[in-house]
Amino acid sequence: MNEELRKKLSQVVEKTVSNLQSAGNLETLNEIRVGVLGKKGELKQLMKGMKDIPAEERPRFGQLVNEARDKIEENIDFVKKNLEKAAMEAKIASESIDVTLPARRPEIGHRHPNTIALEEVQRIFVGMGYEVVEGPEIEYDEYNFEKLNIPANHPAKDEQDTFYINKEILLRTQTSPIQARVMEQGKLPIRMIAPGRVFRSDEVDATHSPSFHQIEGLVVDKHITLSDLKGTLAEFAKELFGPETKTKFRPHHFPFTEPSAEMDVSCFKCGGKGCRFCKGEGWIEILGCGMVHPHVFEMCGIDPEEYTGFAFGVGLERIALLKYEIDDMRLLYENDIRFLRQF
Ligand code: DAH
């Protein structure tokens, strides 16, 4: 038997076993395995020496090599199992869930200041017996303008202000077309408010947005007078801004009402003395209103000899900004939860 080969064989086994013991992970283990058992591994190299030993000794040497391989494989299996177990335990430890931690609550959004203000306005008018109705955001020119006494060449129809889809269809510039739609249905008397989104081709700034909201109001019945309008809107202002609130009506012009007015409320910050909030005026403008124009009644199939009525239009953002003392309208559209949570 070639002593040198035999010695080399046992050295390979010893060295491998000791290397395996210090293998810290599966990659190192694999490198060791390939280094000794692989195609170009140390055992294969030793087998090459077979040709130098006498033929009768070769089977014995082959047997020794097999035993050495078995021993190495056994050791590899053993170390591999241990490493795998350790790896699994480390993984489990790193992924474990601490069931004693308090549960994460689902993030619930927050009602938008617009919504809060709208619900407040609705509460007030529903309390006075009004119905809440809606109309389409994409509207006919006929309803948005014509039936509201705004004919084709009227300055209020300025193309600059309106998003036209075609000659007859546009994004409504006001909620007033809902007046015409409700009157046309012919169910009298009418006592309604109609909130909704409106659109105007305006640049965005602290007080303008191409899309905002209005709340329309309409009352039609026999014997409705200007004092009904004033009484109703004065009551509305008190409910919305507090019982001390005073109201003032300034003559104005709207094509669909006659007479028309703008309503101011006494500044709820300074009580009317004049402060930064009301720009020293003591009054804050909050809505447009008037007695429904007889021509509008006629175009909507209501006899102006028999019926009268009043109408008003409030900007919802305006109310929200005033009520919550927000100084920039853009904040309302950013949907930053940190801002919204304050209301
Ligand atoms: N639609 C008007 C606007 O957008 C607001 C308005 C004024 C509505 C007077 C009315 C009203 O119903 O009577 O400026």
The pLDDT of residue 318 is above 90: yes
Question: Nearest C-alpha to atom 2 of ligand 1 is from which residue?
Answer: 313
Within 8 A by CB and 6+ apart from 308, the residues are 220, 221, 222, 223, 224, 225, 291, 292
The pLDDT of residue 66 is above 80: yes
Which residue has tokens 């028309």?
A: 260
In a domain? residue 101? no
Mean of all residue pLDDT scores within the chain: 92
Claim to verify: residue 81 and residue 124 sit in the same structural domain: no
Claim to verify: residue 124 and residue 156 sit in the same structural domain: yes
Claim to verify: residue 68 and residue 149 sit in the same structural domain: no
The pLDDT of residue 1 is above 70: no
User: Which segments of the chain are extended strands (E)?
Assistant: 131-132, 138-140, 169-171, 190-199, 211-221, 247-254, 257-266, 283-292, 308-315
Of 312, 314, 316, 318, the residue with max ligand 1 atoms within 8 A of its CB, to mutate for a pocket test, comes to 312
The pLDDT of residue 268 is above 70: yes
Q: What is the DSSP-derived secondary structure letter of residue 293?
A: P
Q: By the 8 A CB rule, do 215 and 193 touch? A: yes
pLDDT given for residue 141 in this prediction: 95
Ligand 1 neighbour 139 (Cβ under 6 A)? no
Claim to verify: residue 272 and residue 309 sit in the same structural domain: yes
Domain span including residue 141: 113-340
pLDDT given for residue 159 in this prediction: 66
The pLDDT of residue 160 is above 80: no
Claim to verify: residue 127 and residue 237 sit in the same structural domain: yes
How far is residue 246's CA from residue 266's CA, in Å, rounded to a whole number? 5
Comparing CA positions, the residue from 283, 239, 269 lying closest to residue 121 is: 239
pLDDT given for residue 24 in this prediction: 86
Claim to verify: residue 127 and residue 90 sit in the same structural domain: no
The average pLDDT across 110-124 equals: 96
Ligand 1 neighbour 311 (Cβ under 6 A)? yes
Question: Nearest C-alpha to atom 12 of ligand 1 is from which residue?
Answer: 312
* Domain of residue 187, CATH code: 3.30.930.10
Comparing CA positions, the residue from 320, 300, 204 lying closest to residue 256 is: 300
- How far away, in angstroms, is 51 Cα from ligand 1 center? 109
Q: Which of 43-57, 101-115, 219-233 has the lowest average pLDDT?
A: 43-57
pLDDT given for residue 229 in this prediction: 98
Residue 40 carries which side chain, given as an amino acid letter?
K
Ligand 1 neighbour 162 (Cβ under 6 A)? no
The pair of three-digit structure tokens given for residue 50, joined into one six-digit string: 């077979």
For 76, other C-beta atoms within 10 Å of its C-beta total 20
Query: Which uninterrupted H or E stretch holds 158?
Result: none
Within 8 A by CB and 6+ apart from 181, the residues are 135, 143
How far is residue 261's CA from residue 251's CA, in Å, rounded to a whole number? 4
Last residue of a domain, one of 59, 94, 129: 94
In a domain? residue 232? yes
The average pLDDT across 205-232 equals: 96
Which residue has tokens 């795998």?
A: 84
In a domain? residue 104? no
Atom of ligand 1 nearest to the CA of 310: 13
How far is residue 283's CA from residue 21's CA, in Å, rounded to a whole number? 89
pLDDT tens-place string over residues 171-197: 999 999 999 999 999 999 999 999 999
Last residue of a domain, one of 61, 94, 127: 94
- How far away, in angstroms, is 75 Cα from ligand 1 center? 91
How far is residue 229's CA from residue 310's CA, in Å, rounded to a whole number? 6
In a domain? residue 151? yes
Claim to verify: residue 46 and residue 73 sit in the same structural domain: yes
Atom of ligand 1 nearest to the CA of 175: 1
Ligand 1 neighbour 257 (Cβ under 6 A)? yes
Last residue of a domain, one of 94, 125, 152: 94
- Cα 186–chain centre separation: 40
For 130, other C-beta atoms within 10 Å of its C-beta total 19
Ligand 1 neighbour 177 (Cβ under 6 A)? no
The average pLDDT across 293-297 equals: 98
Q: What is the DSSP-derived secondary structure letter of residue 107?
A: P
pLDDT given for residue 158 in this prediction: 74
In a domain? residue 105? no
The pLDDT of residue 169 is above 90: yes
Claim to verify: residue 122 and residue 61 sit in the same structural domain: no
In a domain? residue 243? yes
Query: Which uninterrupted H or E stretch holds 9?
Result: helix 3-21
In a domain? residue 184? yes
Domain count, the chain: 2
**What sign does the CA torsion over 265, 267, 273, 278 have?**
negative
Claim to verify: residue 146 and residue 58 sit in the same structural domain: no
Claim to verify: residue 87 and residue 126 sit in the same structural domain: no
Of 252, 289, 291, 316, the residue with max ligand 1 atoms within 8 A of its CB, to mutate for a pocket test, comes to 289
The pLDDT of residue 230 is above 70: yes
How far is residue 216's CA from residue 314's CA, in Å, rounded to a whole number? 6
In a domain? residue 100? no
Ligand 1 neighbour 288 (Cβ under 6 A)? yes
Claim to verify: residue 170 and residue 285 sit in the same structural domain: yes
Claim to verify: residue 331 and residue 210 sit in the same structural domain: yes
